[in-house]
Structure 1
Amino acid sequence: MATNYFNITGVREGVNGPAVPLRQEIRALQSTNPDMFNLYILGLQRMQSLPKTDRLSWFQIAGIHGRPYTAWDSVRGNGNASGYCTHSSILFLTWHRPYLALYEQSLFENVKAAVAAFPPGPTKDKFTRLVPSFRMPYWDWAADARVPDVVLREQTIEVETATGRQRIRNPLYSYNFGSIDRREFPENRFNTWLNTVRYPNLANVAAQMRQIETFPNPGTNGLNLRDRVYALLSRNNYRNFAFFSNDGWNNNGHPDDYDSLESVHNTIHGTIGGGGHMSTPAYAGFDPIFWLHHTNVDRIFALWQVLNPSSYVVDQRARYSTFWSQANGTEGPNTTLLPFHQNQTTYWTSLTCRNLKIFGSTYPELVDWGVVSPDQVRLNVQRAVQTLYGRTAPVNRILGQAPGAIGASVLSFSQPGVAITASGSSIPQTDGPGDEETPAQSHGGQSEQQPIQSESTGHLDLIKDGAVHEYFCNVRADKYAAGGSFNVHIFLGDFSDDATRRAFDDNLVGTFSVFANDPETTGCEKCQDEAENGLIVTGSIPLTGALLDRIPELNSLEPDHVIPYLQSKLHWRCNRPDNTAIPREEISSLKVGVASVPVEVPTPDHLLPRYGEWQPQYEVTAGRKAGVAEGDNL
């Protein structure tokens, strides 16, 4: 009998010609559209309560990302190895796009079902009108890395239900497994936790979440995360998708392509999980914050696509096998992205999911209906990048303004959960079939706006011949050197001897996170092969923002001032996700180096900065434990 596969189409309701509903930032959704947020919570609650045997249940869709390493929707493919894993692969970003569409499609159907359960009346009518415009939200950790309270702190939440207003278990706080089959979750800890946890007390088998006062909120890394995203969206070298997309080491002798969107994504996993589910690829998908996080990763990917329309997935050798690919075969734009069916006979590929709107959704910065041309959309995205991420970028802090930025911020959070929308911007949602309203322009298209001040009074004296020097700390390591995920914390200045306080240290600049399964216990055969072959992954931590904070001490960003300063002040230490220390000598593959680059400051004619020729600064790290020295591979 033929298998009846599930067709991943995305959500078609609410699509009105070129206009599609928007995926919104969760804090903006909660504060500006509480009724839609109410639907979101009801949909999550219902989806999480579906039987585990349902292929559209929370358990089964989350399990595609790892455990229990079974074939979803009866799709095993031609490979023999277990797991659909595309981490550290050129398919990392594109594989997750139909995965998110599948999740959104299931969530949408659960929202519809939740509303259908309401008794006839004005409340049901109100929610019914909203349903076609519902799309899953994202958490823009690059704009504000503080975890929203509704995700992090609130174990229960008050919502309007079919039986009246009630306080229910908060489905954003954690997912409840109900029961656990140890054959599916064989690793210790994970088969004892009946709820997803973040920063669990590993000494307590009940493993409740720690008190919020001891939770190392990634806001500590917030400005650095923002600088990393700004660099990925503006630097010349990241116009190549192969470099931008994934954390595999390019090993090409250049110091300018160490970072990637995957590496930045890893830092969220590394700073949220703390030894809990988000810390480990095999279990991360079960944590509700995973979906807010990955929707933002897809959004940044979509922004990058507008800025770099000519670069995309290219053919590369598949180094390792998965459920659906064979080692030494080819991974490329036409590789099938299993287990995601487009229809009964065809799988999604990177090529067919290149346009996000094919799934019936888009993001606020990407509105392309009612605008003049694709060039206008590109300009809108540049302005959005300046507004959201450029205000604190070092080059704009030095300049004293962020050219092209509009308002205070499209999503500026003066307090957690409080959204401030740019003055005059408005992007209406489609309200179901027959809604003909489209925006005159996207929120980035307000050309009459004057450049706003950056979050700095400016350091114009640091600009030499229209450019400033910026500095980056490049890190690489064997992905499996620590037997699972680990963090490399980068400091400027003295730091605490207490390893459990490193994530909170005042002199912490940023964190390079490795997101990995334990090769000794994982069911992911690709991961086991990568560990056996010593897969090296990379990331890059911007230093310039932290150096600017020390300008009274430094006086200059010229190399003859900065290099001696870094020689004495730059430090790095390794921790496990639960904040226990790892001696650096235990990670023999660890290499830390510094590179500098002159950066041409933005102007109204080119809103994003331009980067010049990169220079390794070997003298900063040579002779130090795990430091890069001249002659080492870059």
Structure 2
Amino acid sequence: MSHFVITGSGTPANRLEINDLIKDDKSFSLYIQALGMFQQLFACSFLIEKPSADMSSRTQDDVASFFQVGGIHGLPFIPWDDATGNSLAPNQWGGYCTHGSVLFPTWHRPYVMLYEAIHDGIHVDVGGNGQMSDPSVAAFDPIFFLHHANVDRMVSLWSALHPGVWVTSSDQDDGTFTIPPDGPVDVSTPLTPFWNAQTTFWASAGVTDTSKLGYTYPEFNGLDTTNTTAVQQAIAQAVNRLYGSGSRRASVPRQFLAMPAAAVKEGVKATAATVAPSGSKEGVKEDTATHNIGNSAPVTAAGASLPSGATTRSIGVSSASQPEALLAVHHNTPAPPEGNIWDWSARIEFKKYELGSSFTVLIFLGQVPENPEDWRIAPNCVGAHHAFVNRVPDQCANCQNQLNIVTEGFVHLNEGIAEFSGLESFEPAVIHPYLEKEMHWRVQKTDGSPAQLESLEVTVIATPLSLPPGSAFPVAGEPTRHPRITHGRPGGARQRCVNV
């Protein structure tokens, strides 16, 4: 029998950013109308090799129906267009999607191509919500495909910045409808159920060049894609323009660049009144106890302590010499070269499946709104880390066998600090007391209700960044953890000091 073959043909068309797409009333209107028809189970007869005479008679059994295409990702866990593989093991993930493996970005590439073929070539990208919060039904939300168009764009940008790097060999931990749990995957693994011919499937090796797949992105317009060096430089400029210092809110005032130690000491005194926590004096929380210098221990990019080269000693902190003491507490935090900058991040860790559904950890700088409905739209909500959790646990190996798996994410704080703090430095001696007082967090389920997350641990990490001559992007130095900022609060660092 014949299969629905996914192809890319003709002159590559731009997938437009959503704000640019809606400026074209005709194109956006056609997209909405096509989406409505798709949801009504209609499809264009010329797209399939076995069309029915009466288009209105199409049912959920048709491979081009909204139900069938949406069901490829997860529920109802049935074959699509006769793409079958191994017999499903107990608790094996029953959908085709390769979440949690190196095939994740390339698997979604022909999936979005399938959606576009049914939708008459309308190309957009944007994020979404709704059913998107559950991987077993996410693809039934039409915004899913708009979101993954943008994910695919990010893959294209990343690939241009790293020419010659693509899918590496790994394992598919959960398995899929056609890949056994822990099965090996690589650049040649079939991206089932997406046929590229009547007897073969797409593979990651065949989806590296989007122009050959029938689409491209505006950032690549006018570039000679055969000149990888020129493309790399052009895309680096585009990424910096869109997301770097030229983007909205991303510009950092010059006074936030690293200052000499003497200037930092004076800055602590000058800004003490602004950043002083409740019950403290001169910008330092009043505490005459002995502090371990490991409170600001070097960490790896993953956050693990680095004992190599670190020293530990105790000092007494008195209220009479607090600015100097604060500098001493941070003596173990290496200062970046003058003219460079500290990058501050909130590191968020939790057990992914603790709540049994998707949820979000929100980070705030300043007072948190009392009404949870206002949390996500609060101007001082500076970022979030999300748990994308399957609510059908009996069809997910991770949900059953890895209930205690811990996931981590990072929220960058510099933009929020620059906007809300009133400070003029990113130096640890200045930022530490500010974050100790003003950084807060909340956990929220997808229905908007607040939640308690027993496994949550929020810590703060500072990383020195430098920009070598000729480099398009900053180079990160050795990160340093600051657990005392969040210790003692629910969901904060479990240890006040880091043992080194």
Q: TM-score, normalization: structure 1?
A: 0.58
Match of 1:617, as an amino acid? Answer: H
Tell me if 1:525 matches 2:396.
Answer: yes
User: 2-side partners of 1:37 and 1:568: how far apart?
Assistant: 47
Counterpart among 74, 80, 93 of residue 82 in structure 2:
74
Give the partner amino acid of 2:485.
V
Structure 1 residues 435-473: Cα deviation after superposition (integer angstroms, max 9, x where no partner)? xxxxxxxxxxxxxxxxxxxxxxxxxxx996231111011
Displacement of 1:497: 3.1
Structure 2 distance, partners of 1:632, 1:78, is 48
Alignment-derived partner of residue 355 in structure 1: 209
How much does 1:21 deviate? 1.7
Per the alignment, do residues 522 and 357 of structure 1 end up closer, same or farther by CA in structure 2, a change over 3 Å counting? Answer: farther
Q: Post-superposition shift, 1:494?
A: 1.9
Which residue is equivalent to 1:515? 388
Q: Tell me by how many angstroms 1:495 deviates.
A: 1.0
Match of 1:574 in 2: 443
CA displacement at 1:83 relative to structure 2: 1.4
Q: Distance in 2 between matches of 1:601 and 1:549?
A: 23
1:490-536, Cα deviation, whole Å (9 max, x unpaired): 11122123333322334311111111122xx4563335335x44333
Find the counterpart in structure 1 of residue 136 from structure 2: 282
Match for residue 549 of structure 1 among 419, 424, 438: 419
| Cα drift, residue 559 of structure 1 | 0.7
Equivalent residues in 2 for 1:407-446 (5 A)? none
What corresponds to 1:324 in structure 2? 178
Match of 2:102 among 76, 90, 105: 90
1:260-319 superposed Cα distances (whole Å, 9 cap, x missing partner): xxxxxxxx55xx33xxx2222222212222221110111011101101123322122332
Distance in 2, matches of 1:568 and 1:544, equals 16
Matches within 5 A, 1:364-379: 364-367=218-221, 369=223, 373-379=227-233
The whole-number CA distance in structure 1 between the counterparts of 2:170 and 2:82 is 27
Matched, 1:9 2:17: no
Q: 1:472 touches 1:594 (CA, 8 Å); kept in 2?
A: yes
- Per-residue deviation, residues 223-272 of structure 1 (Å, max 9, x unmatched): xxxxxxxxxxxxxxxxxxxxxxxxxxxxxxxxxxxxxxxxxxxxx55xx3
Match 1:499 to one of 372, 383, 393 = 372
Q: Deviations over 1:157-211 (max 9, x none)?
A: xxxxxxxxxxxxxxxxxxxxxxxxxxxxxxxxxxxxxxxxxxxxxxxxxxxxxxx
> Which is bigger in relative contact order (C-alpha 8 A, separation at least 6)?
1
| Runs of at least 5 residues in structure 2 that lack an aligned partner in the other structure | 43-57, 256-334
1:404 corresponds to:
none
Residue identity opposite 2:35 in structure 1: L
- Alpha carbons of structure 1 residues 536 and 320: separation in structure 2 relative to 1, 3 Å: same
- Distance between the aligned counterparts of 2:226 and 2:166, measured in 1? 25
- 2:253 aligns to what? 398
Residue 99 in structure 1 maps to residue 74 in structure 2: no
SS of equivalent to 1:582: coil
Distance 1:385 1:464 in 2: 25
* Aligned residues of 2:364 and 2:381 also touching (Cα < 8 A): yes
The letter of the residue matching 2:107 is W
Is the 8 Å Cα contact of residues 599 and 610 (structure 1) preserved in structure 2? yes
Q: Assess if the C-alpha contact under 8 Å between 1:573 and 1:584 holds in 2.
A: no
Q: Structure 1's 544 and 40: CA in aligned 2 closer, same or farther, altered over 3 A? A: same
> What's the offset of the Cα at 1:361?
0.7
- Which amino acid is 1:356 matched to? T
Write the distance in 2 (CA, Å) between the matches of 1:350 and 1:387: 29
Contact 2:385 2:409 in 1 (8 A): yes
Give the Cα–Cα distance (whole angstroms) in 2 for the partners of residues 376 and 41 of structure 1. Answer: 37
CA distance in 1, matches of 2:346, 2:137: 30
- Structural RMSD (CA): 2.7
Find the residue that maps to 1:89 and give its secondary structure: coil
Distance 1:90 1:101 in 2: 19
Matches within 5 A, 1:248-267: none
- The letter for the 2-side match of 1:64 is I
Determine the C-alpha separation between the residues in 2 that align with 1:84 and 1:463: 47
Cα distance in 2 between the residues matched to 1:58 and 1:394: 39
Per the alignment, do residues 529 and 91 of structure 1 end up closer, same or farther by CA in structure 2, a change over 3 Å counting?
Answer: farther
* Corresponding residue SS for 1:561: helix
* CA 399–98 in structure 1, closer or farther in 2 if over 3 Å, else same: farther
Distance 1:373 1:48 in 2: 42
Distance 1:594 1:393 in 2: 24
The number of aligned residues is: 397
1:632 CA drift (Å) = 8.3
Asked if 1:29 is matched to 2:21, the reply is yes
Q: 1:555–1:396: structure 2 CA closer, same or farther, 3 Å change rule? A: closer
Which of 446, 463, 467 is residue 597 of structure 1 equivalent to?
463
1:329 Cα offset (Å): 2.1
Pick from 479, 482, 485: which aligns with 1:617? 482
Q: 1:558 aligns with which of 427, 430, 439?
A: 427
Q: What code does the residue aligned with 1:92 have?
A: F
Once the two structures are superposed, what CA deviation does each residue of 1:547-566 show, in whole Å capped at 9, x if it has no partner? 111342x3321011111221
Aligned residue for 1:627? 492
Per-residue deviation, 1:385: 1.2
Residue 43 (str. 1) matches residue 34 (str. 2): yes
SS of residue paired to 1:503? coil
- Structure 1 residues 362 and 383: CA distance shift in structure 2, 3 A: same
Superposed, 1:442-481 pairs within 5 Å as 465-481=338-354
The question of 1:489 aligning with 2:481 is answered: no
Q: Structure 1's 315 and 361: CA in aligned 2 closer, same or farther, altered over 3 A?
A: same
Contact 1:85 1:526 in 2 (8 A): no
Question: 1: distance between equivalents of 2:382 and 2:250?
Answer: 17
Q: State the partner residue of 1:148.
A: none
Greater C-alpha radius of gyration: 2
Would you say the 8 A contact 2:6–2:113 is kept in 1? yes
Distance 2:223 2:359 in 1: 44
What displacement does 1:627 show?
2.6
Q: Is the 8 A contact 1:320 1:529 kept in 2?
A: no
CA distance in structure 1 between the partners assigned to 2:347 and 2:386 by the alignment? 12
State the distance in 1 between where 2:197 and 2:166 align: 24
The answer (yes or no) to whether the contact 1:137–1:292 under 8 Å persists in 2 is yes
Distance 1:506 1:396 in 2: 17
Matched with 1:143 is: none
Shift of 1:606: 3.0
User: Is 1:395–1:601's contact at 8 Å kept on the other side of the alignment?
Assistant: no
CA distance in 1, matches of 2:65, 2:135: 19
**Which residue is equivalent to 2:292?**
none
Corresponding position of 1:438: none
How far 1:601 sits from its partner (Å)?
A: 4.7
Aligned position for 2:157: 303
* Cα displacement (A) at 1:36: 3.0
Which residue in the other structure is 1:346 paired with?
Answer: 200
> Deviations along 1:409-446, whole A, 9 cap, x unmatched?
xxxxxxxxxxxxxxxxxxxxxxxxxxxxxxxxxxxxxx
